[in-house]
């Protein structure tokens, strides 16, 4: 399965990073950074109406290269000007052609929260994320044991980072709730077949208590999709390819949000 390949590649990447800078050193550096307890990523998602997490993504395993030209700073600034609540930045280099540099520069260039979109398999990456300037980190249930899920969340929160805990099915949602996740994201993409169905988010919504932020991810392409999710009490949508392929991201974002009214 592709997720297993990405996870293995990520483990190798982390081990190489540890040779450059030890866990003890990166932990020390991260703990010297300001420890805000405001959790701006969560604050933005709690605002009234649908929140949009707009993704800066160059490529994906299912679609290949999405953006041949990739002026990532311009894209991030355009998202902010268009009214994005937060920006998601892919940092996985092999399968998504991402880079830590993209994240660091974007976090410095915008004033809205930034999510590090990567495949967290080691606590080392959480300290890395803090040093790169992100406000939030992604934790994928299917990559982590229950103990890791709990520990990684606690580590992130201790550093002032929010954790978006991603689930794909009822079992993983239950695990996220057991780990006391404050933000649960449901991925509408089946990672075995790569098929997408936003009904996955609609169906699983009923499992999530109202105090937990709820994010729908993947396959959201039309105003009708966003409207349906909004009426189903979804807190935020994470949208990548649809916006990345749009020549006018502000206009596209306005169109996507047109059905988000009571």
Give the torsion through C-alpha atoms of 90, 92, 97, 99, to 10 deg.
70
Catalytic residue among 27, 51, 57, 216: 57
In angstroms, the CA 186 to CA 201 distance is 6
Write the secondary structure of 56-109 as one string of H (helix), E (strand) and C (coil). Answer: ECCEECCCEECCCCCCHHHHHHHHHHHCCCEEEEECCCCCCCCCHHHHHHHHHH
Of 60, 88, 187, 200, the catalytic one is: 187
* Residue 217 appears among annotated catalytic residues: yes
- Catalytic residue from among 88, 216, 218, 235: 218
Rounded to whole angstroms, the Cα distance separating 29 from 116 reads 18
Q: Does the annotation mark 218 as catalytic?
A: yes
CA distance 54 to 241: 9
Q: Which of 42, 166, 228, 241 is catalytic?
A: 166
Q: Which of 42, 78, 217, 228 is catalytic?
A: 217
Other beta carbons within 10 Å of 152? 22
User: Distance between CA 178 and CA 155 in Å, rounded?
Assistant: 17
117 is catalytic: yes
Let me know: does 168 contact 144? Beta carbons within 8 Å: no
Is residue 85 part of the annotated active site? The answer reads no
| Annotated catalytic residue within 117, 172, 235, 241 | 117
Count how many Cα atoms sit within 13 Å of the Cα of residue 245 in the half-sphere of its side chain: 11
Q: Is 55 a catalytic residue?
A: yes
**Catalytic: 57?**
yes
Pairing of the two strands 86-90 and 64-65: unpaired
Among candidate residues 27, 51, 55, 60, the one labeled active-site is 55
Instruction: Kindly list the distances between the CA atom of residue 61 and the CA atoms of 64, 97, 192, in Å, as whole numbers in the listed order.
Output: 6, 10, 12
Annotated active-site positions, please?
A: 55, 57, 117, 166, 187, 217-218
């Amino acid at each position: 399965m592709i997720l297993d390949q990405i996870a293995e590649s990520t483990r190798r990447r982390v081990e190489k990073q540890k040779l450059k800078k030890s866990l003890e050193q990166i932990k020390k550096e991260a703990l010297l950074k300001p420890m805000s307890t405001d959790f701006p990523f969560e604050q933005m998602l709690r605002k009234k109406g649908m929140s949009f997490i707009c993704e800066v993504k160059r490529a994906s395993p299912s679609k290949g290269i999405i953006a041949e030209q990739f002026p990532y700073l311009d894209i991030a600034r355009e998202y902010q000007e268009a009214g994005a609540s937060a920006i998601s930045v892919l940092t996985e280099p092999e399968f998504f052609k991402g880079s830590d540099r993209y994240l660091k520069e974007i976090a410095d260039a915008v004033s809205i929260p930034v999510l590090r979109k990567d495949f967290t398999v080691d606590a080392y990456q959480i300290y890395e994320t803090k040093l790169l300037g992100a406000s939030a980190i992604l934790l994928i249930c299917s990559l982590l044991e229950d103990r890791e899920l709990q520990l990684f969340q606690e580590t992130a929160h201790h550093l002032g980072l929010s954790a978006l805990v991603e689930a794909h099915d009822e079992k993983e949602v239950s695990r996220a709730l057991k780990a006391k996740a404050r933000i649960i994201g449901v991925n509408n993409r089946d990672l075995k077949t790569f098929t997408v169905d936003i009904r996955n988010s609609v169906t699983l919504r009923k499992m999530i208590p109202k105090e937990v932020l709820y994010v729908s991810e993947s396959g959201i392409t039309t105003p009708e999709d966003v409207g349906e999710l909004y009426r189903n009490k979804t807190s935020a949508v994470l949208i990548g390819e649809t916006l990345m392929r749009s020549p006018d991201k502000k206009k596209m974002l306005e169109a996507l949000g047109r059905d988000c009214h009571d």
